[in-house]
Amino acid sequence: MAEIDARLREDVHQLGELLGNTISAQRGAVFLDKIERIRKGAKAARRGSAAGAEQLSAGLEQLADDELLPVARAFNQFLNLANIAEQYHRIRRRGPDEPEPFESRVLPELLQRLLTSGHGADDLARQIARLDIELVLTAHPTEVARRTLIQKYDAIAAQLAAGDHSDLSAAEHEQVAEQLQRLIAEAWHTEEIRRSRPSPVDEAKWGFAVIEHSLWQAVPNFLRKADHALQEATGMHLALDAAPIRFASWMGGDRDGNPNVTAAVTREVLLLARWMAADLYLRDIDQLAAGLSMQQASPELLAKVGDSAEPYRSLLKQLRERLRATRSWAQEALHGPVAAPAAVLQDNRELLEPLECCFQSLHACGMGVIANGPLLDCLRRAATFGLFLVRLDVRQDSSRHAAALDEITDYLGLGRYAEWDEEARQQFLLAELDNRRPLLPSHFKPSADTAEVLATCREVAAAPAASLGSYVISMAGAPSDVLAVQLLLKESGLLRPIRVVPLFETLADLDNAGPVIDRLLGLKGYRARLRGPQEVMIGYSDSAKDAGTTAAAWAQYRAQEQLVQVCAAQQVELLLFHGRGGTVGRGGGPAHAAILSQPPGSVAGRFRTTEQGEMIRFKFGLPDIAEQNLNLYLAAVLEATLLPPPTPEPAWRELMDKLAADGVTAYRGVVREHPQFVDYFRQATPEQELGRLPLGSRPAKRREGGVESLRAIPWIFAWTQTRLMLPAWLGWEYALSSALQRGEGELLAQMRERWPFFRTRIDMLEMVLAKADGAIARLYDERLVEPSLLPLGEHLRDLLSQAVAAVLGLTGQSQLLAHSPETLEFISVRNTYLDPLHLLQAELLARARRRDNQADSPLEQALLVSVAGIAAGLRNTG
């Protein structure tokens, strides 16, 4: 097995040793020795030692009640420290003899390939300037770490960077070590888990913090390097206002099944974003005003400031006053409606123009080297984040709109909207959309639910257009779902166009997406109101929960193909919005590979996708890591646009149809049809406990009921905690083994080699299977599951083994991830710390189920720490 890079191993060892020092200082050497015996037992057990397994279980069984929480915290903290070391290793200083990481090379190498393949320099420069990539930040119920602790982790990474210099003196090395020890002690003595659920506003502030502490720095750095790569390849520069990647958010706008997100919350989050943007620009302007003390300026700049000895400072001071006015107004407006003074910035051009004027003047006066410094960075931020920081999406379930309209039509004596067929609904909605008179009388007194829907629509109508993204409709299934939102927005005073986006989530809805959009675009009144592209959201989480990842992945692919064809025939631009999660079971995985595996024509210079919870922190929490991931997105969307993947051959499609049919049959045969499945799921996993823990502002269930009532995130998260990972692979074992038995192995191998879609699916499946562990899942069963349900657990672990065998048969490897030995080795290192947490969690679950614990009891806290630690250890399957 490959060795982990020596420097990474050294960092992991150092951080672990410093954590041990901290624990020993607080609880003594005897307690630290207990943890070390548990760790060594886990390590030996993983190597097949029966004595090691006995040492591990005995060490955990001998823990007193008051030792459960600190032991869980110790292993949780180590896994977080290992994550920090691994993240830093990706961005560490490279020696002159070391190759640049793929993330840094990907764009320059792609530009060379594109030039070689016949794309002209002008074409490439224009295409990059036109790219429209939007990353939509969403809250996540499994992001349990507190912001204060995340900031300490970031500081630890900064100290690793400070110590990563070969020319440091002994005293300087000692200083770095002391600061690391101090930060780790601070982290250890900080309660890592919230005591109460975050509010939607808390979640939004968490998203803003990622921008403030990472993306604010990463975006101009990323664009500077993209500009350099473009200039090297083509001799051309990015335009000053180029913003190929922008950011939106669902935090404070996603009310689907979350009663805590109200119209008032949406208004507050919009104002907080505006306040934060003004505050961040003020910091930039203060820095620029301090540096731009030059006297020589262009006539255009002098005309704006008059006779001034320091014209740049004079112009920037004018902008500073307007930013202060904007920030003050936003602060005041948080406490109630207040008119915005004339000085408040309303349009992004008002922010950009003085900055551009300074930039052009410096270049005109021979001071381009000054212009291309922090001033250029500020311009790039202004183009990317604008006055509103992120564009807020609003999301609501289609049934809420239908219920509101049903109440309205009943009140007006028009009949019951809920009872009308699709044709009747469309006729009514189109007629009302064209009608100049209001539909609602002023004395209409709606029910609480309808009042909230209308209040949200009024907030959308009142908000500046640039502050909002799209209005997303969950569980959309017909053209009337889109028209209904348009009518409710019109009745609330919205006079400008906004993208109203149907979200297709279930298997049946995905199969029907193309025909629905075709009918929608065929409506004359709808086409007249459509401005810009037709946006359609593809749901990954719920389709996978509904049908398993085999059938869901193929349905998502086919739906995109259909939508591309429909929009081309209707001569309408298409923007696909990918509702991916961080986990494989929810459509997650490496973004670069995922984008390159989309159907040809579906990524035509436009790409919109969700970035969720803990994956936001892993991908964008540190500026250098964020820069790498932004590079990957830019390069992948550019490549998918200009060098799209091949259209699948008929034989591949035919086999994929069979795989999907076999996959959904096998998946639903277990999840929906096995009479003991729900009982087993609730006993073998921490699903019930996750619902009680303070993991997010949104309830774990949409309604009472079985598996179908669960949200996709806790559904997957519960299986991940036990390492069975069932939602990510169930169905593939039967689909692949059936194909191999039919003698289709050669065709499968061809698909894997030549079809990016299929290769990416198998790569993701292999990765999740490498992290799955039937032996760990069995330990949960033995501790938690009643005897009558144990055979089902055994059957599921047998299916897991079949999935592993099928993937090995397809890839021709003797071991999963044999092609990536360093990844295997790091999984092995993590298992030494994960195994005790799994055993401890099973014991904690058993004890919690015997008692009625309060949410803030030590046992419940220990359970939540174990949940966080396992999620941290498993990363994109957590």
Distance of alpha carbon 615 from alpha carbon 210, whole angstroms: 12
Whether 221 has a pLDDT exceeding 90, the answer reads yes
Residue 853 confidence (pLDDT): 57
**Neighbour count for residue 336 (Cβ, 10 Å):** 6
pLDDT score of 537 more than 50: yes
Confidence of residue 698 (pLDDT cuts 50, 70, 90): low
Give percent of the chain above pLDDT 90. Answer: 70
pLDDT digits (tens, 9 = 90+) for 472-516: 999 999 999 999 999 999 999 998 999 999 999 999 999 999 999
Token code pair at residue 252: 């404070």
**What rounded mean pLDDT belongs to the chain?**
90
Q: 871: which 2 tokens?
A: 């999620």
Residue 179 confidence (pLDDT): 95
Checking if the pLDDT of 703 tops 90, the result is no
Range with the lowest mean pLDDT among 72-81, 382-391, 563-572, 795-804? Answer: 72-81
Exposure on the CB side of residue 518, measured as CA atoms within 13 A: 15
Give the pLDDT mean for 846-857: 73
**Confidence tier at 584 by pLDDT (50, 70, 90):** very low
pLDDT for 3 equals 56
Q: 236-255 pLDDT, tens per residue?
A: 999 999 999 999 999 999 99
At 808, list the tokens: 């090995």
Summarised one tens digit per residue, pLDDT across range 435-474 is 999 999 988 999 999 999 999 999 999 999 999 999 999 9
Taking phi first (over 0 means left), then psi (-120 to 50 degrees means alpha), and beta for anything else, what does residue 354 get?
alpha
pLDDT band at 590 (very low <50, low <70, confident <90, very high): confident
173: annotated active-site residue = no
**Which pLDDT score, from 0 to 100, does residue 198 have?**
81
- pLDDT at 583 > cutoff 50: no
142 has a pLDDT exceeding 50: no
Output the pLDDT for position 42: 86
Q: Tell me, yes or no, if 140 is annotated catalytic.
A: yes
What pLDDT is attached to residue 199?
87
Grade residue 587 by pLDDT with cuts at 50, 70 and 90. very low
Q: Which long-range contacts (CB under 8 A, 24 or more apart) does 356-360 make?
A: 356/240, 357/298, 357/300, 357/301, 357/304, 357/315, 358/288, 358/292, 358/301, 358/312, 358/315, 358/316, 359/240, 360/298, 360/300
Task: Measure the CA–CA gap between 474 and 472, rounded to whole angstroms.
Answer: 6
CB-based contacts of 238, cutoff 8 Å, min separation 6: 125, 128, 129, 223, 226, 227, 230
pLDDT for the residue numbered 707: 60
Q: What is the mean pLDDT of residues 204-213?
A: 91
What's the pLDDT at 533? 95
Task: Please tell me the pTM assigned to this model.
Answer: 0.92
**Of the candidates 395, 827, 771, which has an alpha carbon nearest to the alpha carbon of residue 583?**
771
Of 89, 213, 545, 619, which residue is the catalytic one? 545
Q: Which tokens sit at 624? A: 């250098």
pLDDT at 733 over 70: yes
pLDDT in tens, 358-381: 999 999 999 999 999 999 999 999
Catalytic residue among 34, 43, 89, 140, which?
140
* Structural domains for the chain: 275-388 (1.20.1440.90), 396-611 (3.20.20), 651-819 (no CATH)
Percentage of the residues of the chain whose pLDDT score is greater than 70: 94
